[in-house]
Amino acid sequence: MFPRGARFEPPKVSDTPGPNAYNVALDSQLDTYKHGAFLEKTDRFSKEKPADIPGPNSYNTQTKTTTTKPSARPGSNNADRYTVLQRKVEDLERLHNEDKRSHKNEVDRLKLELSRAQKTVSEQTTRLEKQKKQHDALELRIQELTKSASSDKVEIKELRMKLRVTEHERAQLSSKHEDVAEWKNKRKEEGRERDKKIANLEKALEAEQKQRGSAEALSMEMRVKRDEDAAAARAVAKVLQSETDAAHKEASQARLESEEYSAEADSLLQDLRQHKLLLKIISNQYGRLATTTVSKATFSRLQSTHLTTQMQNFRIQRKLANAEGQVVELANLIRQVKDQNCFLASRLRETEDEIRSFWSPSLQSQVIRRRPVDDTDTLVAAIEENIREGFDLRGHLDKETDRMFRDYYRLLSDDILSSYYDAELELADVKESKQDLSKRLVEVKESQDMLSRQVSQTEGERDCARQLLKAAEDLAKSLRQQSEEYKLQTDDLKEKLEEQSRAYKEELEGEKENSQRLTSTIQKQRMAEEGLRAEIELLGSEVANAERLQEAYRVLSDEVGSLLAKNALAEDVAQQLSKFNAEIIGHQNPAQKIMYVERIRNELAESKQKHALLTREHEVLVSQKQELENEVDMYKSVVVFNKPKTTITRVHRLPLTDLNQSMSQYLP
């Protein structure tokens, strides 16, 4: 009808350009030719999976239009804008993907750095713990070395004091007299030998101290190793003990659980046996009930027939009883009538005999003719009355019997109905009990199945518990073996440590023997010095030159001043070293008390020196006391006449003088 053309005329295209026709291309469009010349900061192979969701520009949104084509310029402008926007979107997506990749790489790098930092922290903590242990060991070693050094210093000071005393005495002896040149030479030689001996002794002492330090270091190392091994063994033993305790606990728990499971299984088996017995009894009772009982229809039919037959029987019995009663009553009446007739006949004969005996024959004939008529009439009337009374009595008896039978049958029917209702109730109860028993049977079967499943589960658990118990016992055995091995190892370590301690004790005993030897040599030197002092006392009387003694005193004072200066310098150096040592040990921490260690050590050294002087004075006093005791013991008892006898007589003598006092009197 109508052609398939446009309904409206196409609009005329204007010659004027549309909007954005003169827009300059963007920088992103101008630099598109540079993309291939430069390497972009993107991964060549992307690690991300491409998304299933289509991105922009994935659908062809250009639709075919049936209208006429618009002008060329606006369409080209829109296409350019669309391409520009598409490129911008692609650039944004590329930048977003690059940011994602860079963020992911940064996160991975940070995770790696975090793991490295954690590893370094753990390593540093382990190192710090090791360094702490080493620091503690070094502190202990330093303390022991400082103790040994302080003791060595005290010994060296004592030896120096002894050496100074000997040198002083030697100088005094050498300066006292000119004639003692030979003696001086001898003394010098002895002093040199003594110096050599002292130097050798000092060297030996230093070597022994070094050996002792090395031995102490070895002992410390061995102690540290022993402590570490003992700590490791204790830790392992504790771990093993905890494992054994846990295994014992698990075994005891498994045993308790197995016992509980066995008790539960026994109780369940007993319940199952009881249920089986109950089911057997119920099945027997149900079978007996099924065999003894009949269906309800037959039971109702038989019951109705029984009732009808019973009613018929009752009726027949009633009729029979009525007939028997009537027969008995008739027989009784007949017997009574017969008896009455016999009695009346006998009375009649007696009266007739009397009448015959008294009356005349004419009267007798008249009486005989009259009296039988009257007697029969009365007899018939009496019999009729008796019969009528019998019928009345029979009717009354029939009514009473009917009423009694009616009451009896009514009561019997009530009893039968009540028994029937009771039987129906009992039957309903039996049915309910049957249903209950059937339900109980189903429940018992279900419980039996459940109990069988539980029994199987408990058996499985019991098997598992037995396996666990066996494994725990094996583990306990292995742990016991390991504990025995560790005990053997600890015993070996103890034996080794005891051997080392014995060796150290032997070394200490050797050192003690050396010290005893040194003390014996020092005592010998003291004895020699005492001999020299005796010689000096002998030669003191010959000493007369005071100038030489003064010069010697001046020289000695100068030497003492130089020695005091050296001692002060040495003390200053020792204080500086102690401060430096305190700074090294204390790390310049005023809160610590290490700064006062050297002061305390100096005070201890001074106290030891004072103690040595006091002990020396005490020894001198003891020696004086011994001499006095010897002198007192030397007194003798003298026999004196003209005097009372006494046990002791004192002898006057000059008092003893001290050697120092005897020497001091010769000094200026």
Q: What is the pLDDT of residues 174-194, one digit of tens each?
A: 565 555 567 667 767 776 777
Q: How confident is the model at residue 516 (pLDDT cuts 50, 70, 90)?
A: confident
Cα 588 to Cα 136, 582, 594, distances in angstroms: 18, 8, 10
The single-letter DSSP state of residue 112 is H
The single-letter DSSP state of residue 5 is S
* Distance from C-alpha of 423 to C-alpha of 299, rounded to nearest angstrom: 11
Q: Which of 19-28, 137-146, 338-347 has the lowest mean pLDDT?
A: 19-28
Q: How confident is the model at residue 640 (pLDDT cuts 50, 70, 90)?
A: low
Cα 227 to Cα 97, 214, 235, 549, distances in angstroms: 60, 19, 12, 65
Q: Is there a contact between 493 and 226 (Cβ–Cβ < 8 Å)?
A: yes
pLDDT for 500 equals: 72
Average pLDDT of span 553-576? 77
pLDDT for 183 equals: 63
Checking if the pLDDT of 64 tops 50, the result is no
The model carries a pTM of 0.21
Give, for 49, the enclosing helix (H) or strand (E).
Answer: none
Average pLDDT of span 601-620? 83
Checking if the pLDDT of 41 tops 60, the result is no
* Distance from C-alpha of 214 to C-alpha of 406, rounded to nearest angstrom: 139
Q: Cα-flanking dihedrals φ and ψ of residue 535, to 5°?
A: -65, -40
Encoded amino acid at 180, one letter? V
Block residue for tokens 């040592």? 581
Checking if the pLDDT of 613 tops 80, the result is yes
Q: Cα-flanking dihedrals φ and ψ of residue 621, to 5°?
A: -65, -40
Q: How confident is the model at residue 28 (pLDDT cuts 50, 70, 90)?
A: very low
What does the block give as tokens for 581?
């040592």
pLDDT for 623 equals: 87
Encoded amino acid at 612, one letter? A
pLDDT for 69 equals: 43
Q: How confident is the model at residue 439 (pLDDT cuts 50, 70, 90)?
A: confident
pLDDT for 284 equals: 78
Checking if the pLDDT of 379 tops 70, the result is no
* Distance from C-alpha of 316 to C-alpha of 450, rounded to nearest angstrom: 65
Checking if the pLDDT of 512 tops 80, the result is no
* Distance from C-alpha of 86 to C-alpha of 80, rounded to nearest angstrom: 10
Block residue for tokens 């015959």? 356
Of residues 582 and 278, more confidence is placed in: 278
Mean pLDDT (the chain, rounded): 69
Checking if the pLDDT of 478 tops 60, the result is yes
pLDDT for 269 equals: 74
Q: Which of 186-195, 348-357, 645-654 has the lowest mean pLDDT?
A: 645-654
